[in-house]
Structure 1
Amino acid sequence: MTKNVPASLPALRLLATCLALCVAADWAHAAAPAPAAAVAPPKLVVVLVVDGLPNEQVQRYRDQFGQGGLRRMLDQGAAFGNAHQAHGVTVTAIGHSAILTGAYPYVHGIIGNNWIDPVTKKSVYCTEDTNYTYIGEETQPSDGTSPARLKVNTLGDELRYATGSRSKVVAISGKDRGAILLAGKTGTAYMYMDKTGNFASTTYYMKNHPEWVQKYQAGKPQDRYYGKTWAPLLPEAAYAGDASEDLNPPKPGSHNRLPFAYYSESGEIDAGYYNLLKTGPYLDQLTLDFARAAVEGENLGRNPAGVPDLLGVSLSAHDYVNHAFGPESKLSHDHLQRLDRMVADFFNYLDKRIGMDNVLVVLTADHGFPNTPEFAQTQHLDAQRLDGAKLMAALDKHLSDKFGGSKLLQAYSLPNIHLDYAQIDKLGAKRADVENAAAAFLLAQNGIADAYTRTQFESGAVQGTHIATLMRRAWNREASGDLMVITKPFWYFGSGNSGTSHGSPYAYDTNVPLMIMGKRWIKPGYYGQYAEVVDIAPTLANLLRVRPPAGAEGRVLTESLVQTPR
C-alpha cells in the first residue's frame, strides 16, 4: 500500500536544493581571489644603449657606482647577468639593429658597420643613402642618413602602427648608426655632427628641424666644454686595479692619461675640437642634454592621445674610449663612473618631468670589448693583432698560384671575403673547390680559428657548436661574403701597437648588460638564466600590447614581468 506524499514536498525539496546552490555559489565567489587590477602601459619607454660596454665592466665597478644610475637599475630592475648579443659579428650597427628589431643579421640585413655591396663589389656604409642629406649640415655620400638597408621593422614602428602614428618615437646618438637603427622606419633620428657639434636629423625624416631643435642649436651648448678638463672623478686609490698606462702608448697627437683638457690645435672652437669631444664624457653629456630637450620639445611621456612614447638614447663615447685605451684602462674606468652619474641625473629629470612610476627603462649595449693585446699578454694569454690586409694579399696570391688565374679574391671587409665567381667559372674551376682551398689556407695561418664557406652556409653544414650558430646568424645570403673567417680568442683584425677592437663571437664581445626597470611591470632581481638582446623587442611588445617586429626571434622575458598591462 502506497503512502500518500504531501503534494508540497517535491517543491520543498527543490527550494532546498536551490538555496544550497545559492549558498555554495556565494561562498565560491567570496573565496575566489579578486581579479588583478589592470596595469596601464608605461607612458614612456626609454631604451638606453651604452656603446661598447661589456657586462664585465658593470660587475667589476658596480661597488663604485652612485645610488641613482646603474646601481638603481641593478637594485630596482631585473638584471640579466648572462645576456648576449647572440650573433657572430659584434659591431655597433649589428648590435643596435638587434635591440629593437629582435632579429639577427641573416634576417635584418645589417651585417656590419661597412660591408661589400654584392653587385658593385664596393664598400657601403650601413646607413648611407644618397637620396637624403643632413639638415643644415655638410653631407658626404657615405654619411648615414636613412634606415634603407635595414630590411625589417622595429618595435617603434609597430608601436606607431598600433596607435595610428599617435605614439612618438625619437632616437638620439653620438653616431648616426646608433640613432637611425634605433629609430626604425617611422621614428625620428638625431645624431651628433662632429664638424659643428650640433645634433641634427636628415631629410629622410623631415624637411626642416622643429622649432625646439633650432632653439637648442642656437644655444651652442657644445661650446661650453672648450678648455674644460676631464679629471679623475674618484680618489686615486679607486683606480689601483687598472692597467698601467705604459702598456698602451698614445698615438701621435693623442693622450692616454688623465687629466686631459679639451682644446684644438688652432686655439679656436672648430671642427677639431668638436671631433675631440667624442673621446670622453662630454659627448655623452651632450647626448643626454639633447634627449632632455627632445622630451620637452616633443612632449614625450605626456602624449595628449594617452598612448606610450619611445625614446632611444645611444651613448657613444664609451666605445671610443675603449677602442683607444682598452676596457682595463683608467680612462675607461673613470668614464663609466662619470656615465653612471649622468644616467642618474637623467633619471632624476625624468622623475620630475614624468614620474619614474610611469617610465619603463631598458639599458643594454651593442657589443662588449676585449682587452688590449698588451694587457692580455700580461695575463699569460695568446693575444695579438692580425693585419688583415697582409693576410688577404697572401690569400689572393695563394689562390692565383693554385688555380692559375689572377685576382680570384675580389674584395673583402673582414670577416667577410668575396671571391670572383665569374673568373673562377672562366677558369673552369669549381666554386666549392676554390672556397675550400681558401678556407684551408686561412686555417693554416697563425691567429685564425675557423673559416666558413658560402657552400657550407647554403647547405646547412655550419652547425653543431655555439660559435657556428652565432656565425650562421651573422651570415646574410644576399649581402655577406663567400667566406667568413674567425680569429682565435684574444686576437683581432687590426694593426698598430695600441688600442683594441671587437667583432668576434667570443663572450668578451657578446656578453653585455641587459637591465629592465619599471616597478609596475618588472620584478627586481638578478637573473642568471641565459638571455639575448633580441629578447628586448618581444618583451617590450608584450608589455605594450603590440605586435612583435616582423623579424623578431627572441623570447618574452616572462620571469622578470610582474604582469602584462591590460
Structure 2
Amino acid sequence: MKTSLLLPLALSIPLHAAAAPAAPAPAPASASSSAPKLVVVMAVDGLPQEQVVRYRDQFGQGGFRRLLEGGAWFTDAHQAHGTTVTAVGHAAILTGAYPNQHGIVANNWVDRATGQQVYCTEDRDHKYIGEETDPSDGTSPARLRVDTLGDQLRYATGNRARVIAVSGKDRGAILLAGKGGTAYMYMESSGNFASSTWYMQQHPQWVQRYQAGKPQDRYYGQKWTPLLADSAYANDAEGPLFNFSYYSEGGKPDADYYKRLKEGPPVDELTLDFARAAIEGEALGANPAGVPDLLGVSLSGHDYVNHRHGPESRMSHDHLQRLDRMLAGFFSYLDKRVGADGWMIVLTADHGFANSAEFSQRQRIDAGRVDSKKLMAGLEQHLAATFNGAKPITNAVLPNIYLDGGAIDKAGLKRADVEQAASRWLQAQAGIADVYTRTRFEESGATGTRQDLLMRRGWHRHESGDLVVVTRPYWAFGSGTGGATHGTPYRYDTSVPLMMMGKRWIAPGNYTQYAEVVDIAPTLAAVLKVRAPAGAEGRVLTEVLRGSAR
C-alpha cells in the first residue's frame, strides 16, 4: 500500500482508500507469449528534456532513475511539429502522425463552416457521465482524423484488448484512448474521474465504487511544502514560494477546491491512483483472452505548475521530484500486479517549455510577451486602411489567423495580396519572427530549414489558419508579468524525454540517435506485432528493441 508523498499531514492517508477491491492476482503469462501483458504509455504534460537532465541527480531509485538507468533513453528526442501544445502533442504519441495528418492543430481553432472557435475534443452530441457538461467541454475524439495504436490493437485482437486512458485533462485522456478505447478525465467541478457517453452510458461498478470513496477530499486543508532540504533548491530562479494551500472559501471541498488540486501534485497522485483502480477493475495485464492491454496515463500537474511559476522555479523543481517518487510507487505496483517481466512502459511529454520572459530578461536574453488582442486589433486596422475598409479576417486563435474568402472576393481583392500585406505588417511588430501563409504552404513549400519543416508538418489545410504566426525565440503570445508558456517550433518547446523500459523487449542504454515522438506508435506496433496506425510517419526504433521484439 502506497502512502501520499505530498505533505506530512497526508503521510498516513492510504492512496488507495477509495480504489476498487483488489482483484485476484493475474495468472502467469504462457510460455509462448512474446508480447507484453500490459503496455503503459505515459505522458508528463509540459516536461522539457532539460529538466530531466538538470535534476536527475536528485531523483530516487525507482522512478525516473529506473527509466534512465534500466531503460532506453533518447537524449535527442522531439515533438517534431511547429505548434507545440497539449492537444497536438498528445495526438502525436499514439497516432504516430503529425498534425497535417491527424488534424489536431491546436488546443482550440476555428471551424471554417461556422467561423466559430472550437475545442479539440469538443463534441456536443456527448456528455460526461454523471457530471455537468458545458457545450465546449472535451467529450470525444471525433475531431481526430486518424486511428491510434490502441485502435489497431483492438482490431488485431477482435476487440478483446482493453485500451484505457486517464488524465487530469480531457484532451490528455481522449487523444491517447483513440476511437476505440475508453477515456477517463478529471472533473474540476467535483474532483471525480469520469468518462463520457461517447464511450458508454453508465460507469462500470469499479468506477462507481472509486467515486463513492471521494479520495479527492483527503487533501483539504493541507499545504504544499518542500520535499527536499532548502539547499537542494539553491540554484533555482525563485525564492521560497511554498505557500500554496488546498482549501475553498466555502470551508469545505467544493468546485473551487477541486480546481485548485490541478495546480500541484494532488492531480497526479489522483491520476495514478485512478490508474491503479482501472488496472484492477478492468484486469489490465491479466486479460482472460490472453492478449495485451494498453494503458495511457497523462500526468497534467507539471504543465499547470510550469505555466504558473516557470520551469526555472522552485515549485517546478519540487513538483518534478515529487512526480519522481510517485512514478517509483506506480512502477513498484506494476511489478507486483503484472509481474516485473510482464509489462513495458514508454514515457514522453507532449511539449517542452520556455522559461518565463522575466527570467530570460534577467539573463540578458531578448524575451517578451505579445499581447494577442492588441496585435489582432492593429492588424485589422492596417488591413482596413490598406484595402479601402475591407475586413478580410474572420477570426483568429493565435498562432492561427483565418481569412474570410467571401469578404476578399466581394472586395475584389486577391487572397495572395491580403496574405502578403498581413505578413509584412505582422513581421514588423515586436516579438514576431515569421508568418507562414496558405500560399507559402501550398505553393512554395518548405525552404529546407528545420523551422520550415516543423511548420509544414503542423499545418492542416482544412483546420489550420491562412496565416500562422511564429514569435521570436523566448517571446510568447500573452499578457501579464508572470508565468511561462510553450507552443513554438524552437528546441526548448520541442525537446522532450523519450524513455522506454521493458525487460524482455527493450535494450537499456542512452541513445544519441535523433528520435521523434511519432516513432513511439510504430515501435510499439512492432513489439505488439500489430499494424501501425494508418497515418503513422515515424520510424521503428529498432536500435532499442531486443531480438524477439524486432
What TM-score, normalized to structure 2?
Answer: 0.93
2:275 aligned residue = 291
- Distance in 2 (alpha carbons) for counterparts of 1:501 and 1:260: 21
- RMSD of the TM alignment (CA)? 1.1
Q: Which of 290, 294, 299 is matched with 1:310 structurally?
A: 294
Check if 1:227 corresponds to 2:221.
Answer: yes
1:441 aligned residue = 425
1:389 offset after TM fit, Å?
1.1
- Distance in 1 (alpha carbons) for counterparts of 2:44 and 2:252: 30
Unmatched 5+ stretches in structure 1:
1-36, 246-255
1:463 offset after TM fit, Å?
2.9
Check if 1:272 corresponds to 2:256.
Answer: yes
1:149 offset after TM fit, Å?
0.1
Q: Note if contact 1:39-1:565 (Cα within 8 Å) is conserved in structure 2.
A: no
Q: Which of 122, 145, 148 is matched with 1:151 structurally?
A: 145
Q: Which of 122, 131, 135 is matched with 1:137 structurally?
A: 131
- Distance in 2 (alpha carbons) for counterparts of 1:155 and 1:52: 22
Q: Note if contact 2:390-2:411 (Cα within 8 Å) is conserved in structure 1.
A: no
Unmatched 5+ stretches in structure 2:
1-30
1:323 aligned residue = 307
1:195 aligned residue = 189
- Distance in 2 (alpha carbons) for counterparts of 1:156 and 1:143: 23
1:354 aligned residue = 338
Q: Which of 72, 81, 90 is matched with 1:96 structurally?
A: 90
Residue type of the partner of 2:173?
A: A
- Distance in 2 (alpha carbons) for counterparts of 1:517 and 1:196: 35
Residue type of the partner of 2:108?
A: N
Q: Note if contact 1:39-1:520 (Cα within 8 Å) is conserved in structure 2.
A: no
- Distance in 2 (alpha carbons) for counterparts of 1:233 and 1:344: 15
- Distance in 2 (alpha carbons) for counterparts of 1:373 and 1:503: 14
2:231 aligned residue = 237
Q: Which of 281, 293, 300 is matched with 2:284 structurally?
A: 300
What secondary structure sits across from 1:486 in the alignment? Answer: strand
The residue correspondences of 1:14-25 to structure 2 (distance < 5 A) are none
Q: Note if contact 1:39-1:564 (Cα within 8 Å) is conserved in structure 2.
A: no
1:529 offset after TM fit, Å?
1.2
1:260 offset after TM fit, Å?
2.6
1:259 offset after TM fit, Å?
4.1
Q: Which of 114, 134, 149 is matched with 2:108 structurally?
A: 114
1:204 aligned residue = 198
Larger Rg: 1
1:164 offset after TM fit, Å?
0.3
1:208 offset after TM fit, Å?
0.3
The residue correspondences of 1:461-540 to structure 2 (distance < 5 A) are 461-540=445-524
1:405 offset after TM fit, Å?
2.8
1:458 offset after TM fit, Å?
1.0
Check if 1:67 corresponds to 2:61.
Answer: yes
1:244 offset after TM fit, Å?
2.2
Percent identity at matched positions? Answer: 68
Residue type of the partner of 1:293?
A: A
Q: Note if contact 1:281-1:338 (Cα within 8 Å) is conserved in structure 2.
A: yes
Residue type of the partner of 1:550?
A: A
What secondary structure sits across from 1:536 in the alignment? Answer: helix
Deviations along 1:260-314, one digit per CA (max 9) or x if unpaired, are 3211111111110000000000110000000000000000000011100000000
What secondary structure sits across from 1:357 in the alignment? Answer: coil
Deviations along 1:66-86, one digit per CA (max 9) or x if unpaired, are 000000000010000100000
Deviating above 4 A after TM superposition, structure 1's stretches of 4 or more consecutive aligned residues are none
Residue type of the partner of 1:234?
A: L
Aligned residues: 520
- Distance in 1 (alpha carbons) for counterparts of 2:340 and 2:447: 44
- Distance in 1 (alpha carbons) for counterparts of 2:548 and 2:109: 40
Q: Which of 144, 157, 169 is matched with 1:175 structurally?
A: 169
1:257 offset after TM fit, Å?
1.3
Residue type of the partner of 2:491?
A: A
1:525 offset after TM fit, Å?
0.5
1:252 aligned residue = none
Q: Note if contact 1:542-1:564 (Cα within 8 Å) is conserved in structure 2.
A: no
Residue type of the partner of 2:476?
A: Y
What TM-score, normalized to structure 1?
Answer: 0.91
2:27 aligned residue = none
Deviations along 1:95-131, one digit per CA (max 9) or x if unpaired, are 0000000000011000000001111111000001011
Q: Note if contact 2:343-2:502 (Cα within 8 Å) is conserved in structure 1.
A: yes
- Distance in 2 (alpha carbons) for counterparts of 1:356 and 1:491: 45
- Distance in 1 (alpha carbons) for counterparts of 2:37 and 2:247: 41
What secondary structure sits across from 2:41 in the alignment? Answer: strand
1:17 aligned residue = none
- Distance in 2 (alpha carbons) for counterparts of 1:284 and 1:313: 10
What secondary structure sits across from 1:313 in the alignment? Answer: strand
1:39 offset after TM fit, Å?
6.7
Check if 1:411 corresponds to 2:395.
Answer: yes
Check if 1:184 corresponds to 2:178.
Answer: yes
1:356 offset after TM fit, Å?
2.1
Check if 1:47 corresponds to 2:31.
Answer: no
1:7 aligned residue = none
Q: Which of 403, 409, 412 is matched with 1:428 structurally?
A: 412
2:266 aligned residue = 282
What secondary structure sits across from 1:318 in the alignment? Answer: helix
- Distance in 2 (alpha carbons) for counterparts of 1:257 and 1:356: 39
